[in-house]
Amino acid sequence: MNLKQIKNEFTKGFIKENPVLGLMLGLCSVLAVSTEVKNAIGMGAALTFVLLGSNVIVSLLRNSIPNKVRIPVFLIVIGAFTTIADLVLNAYAPAVHKNLGIFIPLIVVNCIVIARSEAYAMKNTVMMSVIDALGMGAGYTLVLFVVSIIREISGNCSFLGIKLFGFSPVLIMILPPGAFITIGLLMAVLRSVRK
């Protein structure tokens, strides 16, 4: 495993195989929690933690997991890490935990985490699975962060909860259609960058 291979594995989550803009996975949480930047950071950190932990465990156990029970095993592993993330957020960031609500426990069934366990961690070494998890988690968090910046500034006229003055809010941006519009525009930008 050379440095170029590590770089390629890590960066594929940003553009080439971005889980949200490229693979269209994890959209539910992006739509729901991207109204404020602090929520985006909390959700991105939680999902990255769960993705990292589950990829490591699945990769370690990949030769021991019978094919017939692999999905239930994935869900148990992902559920354990999701519970840890939920409890840690509740203890150390209760306001963010309250804002994220049900979307933290729903990481258990987030397609990004399940897909990376199935498609990557089951077939690769622990080190490569760690790099993949960090890259995919960073790509997800980056998209969530950008979407939330756009939505918070345009829809709430604030940034990180600090009110900005000088323009009126565009209320549709804090509603679900605003998230769809923002994601659609980011997908268009990503496709033009790829070309």
Query: According to the 3-state scheme, what is the secondary structure of 109-149?
Result: HCHHHHHHHHHHHCCCCHHHHHHHHHHHHHHHHHHHHHHHH
User: Does 64 reside within a domain?
Assistant: yes
User: Does 195 reside within a domain?
Assistant: no
User: Does 194 reside within a domain?
Assistant: no
The pLDDT value recorded for residue 80 is 96
User: Does 46 reside within a domain?
Assistant: yes
CB atoms within 10 A of CB 103: 20
Residue 104, C-beta contacts closer than 8 angstroms, at least 6 positions apart: 43, 46, 82, 85, 86, 89, 97
Residue 81 has pLDDT above 80, yes or no: yes
User: Does 176 reside within a domain?
Assistant: no
Q: Which domain holds residue 49?
A: 20-144
User: Does 5 reside within a domain?
Assistant: no
Domain count, the chain: 1
User: Does 131 reside within a domain?
Assistant: yes
User: Does 162 reside within a domain?
Assistant: no
pLDDT tens for 136-172 read 999 999 999 999 999 998 888 888 877 877 778 888 8
The pLDDT value recorded for residue 15 is 79
Per-residue pLDDT averaged across 121-136, rounded? 93
pTM: 0.89
